[in-house]
Amino acid sequence: MRLRALAFGLTSLRNKLALLFLAVTALALAVVIFVFLPQLHSKLLDQKLHDLELSAQQQSAQLRDVLGQNVPEPQVKRRVRSTAATIEGRLTLLGVQQSTPEPIPYLIYDSNDSANPPIDGNLISKAGVAGEGLSPPSALTGDTGEVAVPLFYAGRPRWVAFYSRHFTDAATDVTLVRDRLLVASAVALIVALLGGWLVARVLTRRVRRVELAARDLAAGRPVEPLPIESKDELGRLAHAFNEMQEKLRQVDRARREFIANASHELRTPIFSLAGFVELLQDEQLDPHTREEFVQVMAEQVDRLQKLAVDLLDLSRLDAGALEIDSERVDIGELAHTVAQEFRPAVAGHGTQLTLKARPAAALCDRQRAAQIMRILLDNALRHTPEGTPVTVSTDRDNGAVEFSVTDSGPGIDDAFRTQLFERFHTGDAARGSGLGLAIAKELAERMDGRISVNSRPGKTVFRLALPAPADDS
């Protein structure tokens, strides 16, 4: 159980974010302690050595004054001790014997009264051959700074003043900074852990809210819109979730309405056919009545067939399975072909069909464009009184190609015009399922076109506008 609880804690986003805050803070503090503090110590030592060089050069002027003078030894010792006290370090005064190929130093006096003081022979050698006016050689040995200043007499270095000072205060300063920084680091880590945990808790609570809402939505349970508490990424996520939820609600509502309407549309002709079949089983029917029943049944079968095709087209449109192959199509020639298909229907309707098809190329799917034309022409014949003139025409308008069907019928009621292209909406259920115009509208949009209607008593015009090829003027 403990291992399981530990594993859950490590997989929790809240704990991961808190640990991330802690790790970033710890890393930053570790870099300061283990990288920048040693550099600080080194820079402090360099600065103190530079200060010692300046002090040594300034103080050596007092020693240079007694060089070559007949000054008593006690006075020289007092000056050496005084100079050492001024620099807060140690001063060893050496003489340089120039009689050999390499200068040989010898002790004159050490401020600590040592007969064998610790000196850097390499620095003494460099000072013994140094030129006048040059910077004195210096070095760092651990935390001790050393400077060898040559004292010239008659153009040659005769004495060497060897200065040394322990820079323990630099280490003390760095230690103090490190101790204070460790205390501050402990406080910062605690604050980072608690602050990170609190921030992560707020963030994960909002993420958890989205997760629970998504689970409820997947399970079909009602979900209230998520509150938008900020404009950050999580706020935008909640907003996107609310939009998705609303669209899913609309899709579900449309699905339910679709099933209900489709069931109703299918039930009506099926019940009608069942009734007529039962009546046809009556052997006492006269031939004329039987023929009327068969005619009505044929109409219902046609209605069922058309409804089945429309439902199949709608399902393919909703599923995105309907492919659109755009090509260059002569809309005038296509309108003429579709109009010829309707000759029997036009004759049965007693309608005068006028065709004004001018050649006009459009970029569309030939089969789908013809389907839209059939829907619009069939709609004009179904919903107008017999004998109503109908005109089919094609034209060009502002870079688009238009196919229009105009009838001289009574027009469309304003109350139905806004719902004209909605699924299953029809002003006369006996004459259609209300799917044709909805399919036509979606097919037109898939081909980057549009369908519009303009209606008044005595004239109704349905227009299909399709894009013209780019190379057409």
398: left (phi over 0), alpha (psi -120 to 50) or beta: left
* pTM assigned to the model: 0.47
36: DSSP letter: I
The set of residues, in sequence order, having a beta carbon less than 8 Å from that of 379 and lying 6+ positions away, is: 405, 432, 436, 437, 462
Q: Are 56 and 149 in contact (CB under 8 A)?
A: yes
What class, spelled out in words, does domain 233-316 have in CATH?
A: mainly alpha
Q: At what angle do helices 287-319 and 233-280 cross, to 10 degrees?
A: 170
Q: Are 146 and 138 in contact (CB under 8 A)?
A: yes
> Per-domain residue ranges for the chain?
15-171, 233-316, 324-467
Which residue numbers in the chain have pLDDT < 50?
1-10, 429-432
Mind listing the pLDDT tens digit for each residue in 246-262?
Answer: 877 877 776 676 676 66
Q: Rounded to an integer, what distance in angstroms lies between the CA atom of residue 51 and that of residue 89?
A: 12
User: Among candidates 425, 415, 438, 382, which has minimal Cα distance to 261?
Assistant: 425
Give the pLDDT of residue 329: 92
Give the pLDDT of residue 333: 93
The set of residues, in sequence order, having a beta carbon less than 8 Å from that of 92 and lying 6+ positions away, is: 107, 109, 110, 111, 117, 119, 161, 162, 164
Alpha helices in 219-283 (DSSP H): 233-280
The set of residues, in sequence order, having a beta carbon less than 8 Å from that of 19 and lying 6+ positions away, is: 196
Query: Does the domain at residues 324-467 carry the CATH identifier 3.30.565.10?
Result: yes
Candidate CATH numbers 3.30.450.20, 3.40.50.1100, 3.30.470.20, 3.40.50.970; the one for domain 15-171 = 3.30.450.20
Spell out the long-range contacts of 231-237 with Cβ–Cβ below 8 A and sequence spacing 24 or more: 234/203, 234/206, 234/207, 237/210
Q: What are the structure tokens assigned to 65, written together?
A: 């004054």
Give the pLDDT of residue 7: 44
Give the pLDDT of residue 153: 75
Q: Are 335 and 373 in contact (CB under 8 A)?
A: yes
Give the pLDDT of residue 392: 93
Total H helices, total E strands in the chain: 13, 12
Give the pLDDT of residue 403: 93
